[in-house]
Amino acid sequence: MKYLFGPVPSRRLGLSLGVDLVLPKTCPFDCIYCEVGRTTVKTMERREYIPAAAIVAELETYFSRGAPRPDYVTLAGSGEPTLNRGLGRIIARLKNLTDSPVAVLTNGALLHYPEVRRELAQADVILPSLDTVTPELFQIINRPAPGLRVDHLMAGLRALREEYGGQIWLEVLLLRRLNDTPEELAKLKATLELVRPDRIHLNTAVRPVVEDFALPLTAAELAEAASFLGHKAEVVASGGSGRHPQFDLSDGDFLASLARRPQTAGDLAEVMGLPVAAVVKRLDRLVASGRVARMRHQHDTFYQTN
């Protein structure tokens, strides 16, 4: 499979089958905290960066095999999925293929395009992000494509809320001395009251970032920000960013994944977006505790739950 990954455990979406709709790293933003790396194709142009037919063919293969039913099929990947002009066709086909709900992770850059909102209307959950409503900070943190302004994002989010009856779970990534000040949080809160997401997910730079000055908040600071933003806000940072399919897994998450099928350390590292060394270390500990068995098959070492 070239465009599907997982299913992998996700703190926000349970067991999530990820679908890549663009190649790395195609995005209208070049965020200073991006876990995928620097943007190589910064664009607002919609086209089939990966042919929708190729993605649909992989989905058909996956669901015809009787593979594990994911809690969500998540359109995400190595950039911005709404850039793919085949988005609507892919979601429509998915709704025929599976009763798993469809989630879309988006940075919101294209939500002011009516056709993007029409295509997204078929999804069950939309997870947009909004880090700041201050134009200067938007340039510093998200480094958008030329001509894209933060008021485009706000207009897109408000239009989405007016038109869309599904769940909107909005993610805010807070960075020290940038968008974490009381003034910034107050402005954000006022905007979120207009956008009316169903949930607000607070995150911070818990993983390697593009720029050294993208500094994380502490857990206590995040909790304080959540409390300020109100009852819809919750901290998701300990699970890593929900913005990309990379997850900070507990032992239980490893065991759940290995219970489904034997996997190599490389398999696990790839689907989880973690360094192989970190995965090997965790597996060694699980093997020593007797909860996971190590076995050789052909020339590879596989791991499986005991």
Q: Do residues 75 and 105 make contact, with C-beta atoms less than 8 angstroms apart?
A: yes
Q: Where are the beta strands (DSSP E) in the chain?
A: 4-10, 14-20, 26-27, 41-42, 72-76, 102-106, 125-128, 167-174, 199-204, 233-235, 292-297, 300-305
Binding flag, residue 131, ligand SF4 (CB under 6 A): no
What is the rounded (10 degree) CA torsion for 215, 157, 72, 226?
40
Interface segment toward ligand SF4; rule CB under 6 A; list 25-33, 154-162, 232-240, 274-282: 25-33
Task: Show the tokens assigned to 196.
Answer: 């009316």
Binding flag, residue 258, ligand SF4 (CB under 6 A): no
Q: Of these, 39, 100, 132, 246, which contacts ligand SF4 (CB under 6 A)?
A: 39
Q: Which is nearer to ligand SF4, 92 or 145 (CB)?
A: 145
Q: Which is nearer to ligand SF4, 80 or 119 (CB)?
A: 80
C-alpha pair distances (Å), 12 with each of 15, 31, 101, 103, 293? 9, 21, 13, 11, 29
Within residues 228-247, the interface with ligand SF4 by CB under 6 A covers: 243
Residues 249, 11: Cα–Cα separation, whole Å = 9
Binding flag, residue 126, ligand SF4 (CB under 6 A): no
Q: Which is nearer to ligand SF4, 31 or 175 (CB)?
A: 31
Beta carbon of residue 70, minimum distance to ligand SF4 (angstroms, whole number): 22
Beta carbon of residue 4, minimum distance to ligand SF4 (angstroms, whole number): 18
Contact residues: ligand SF4, CB under 6 A: 27, 29-31, 34, 36, 39, 79-80, 107, 243
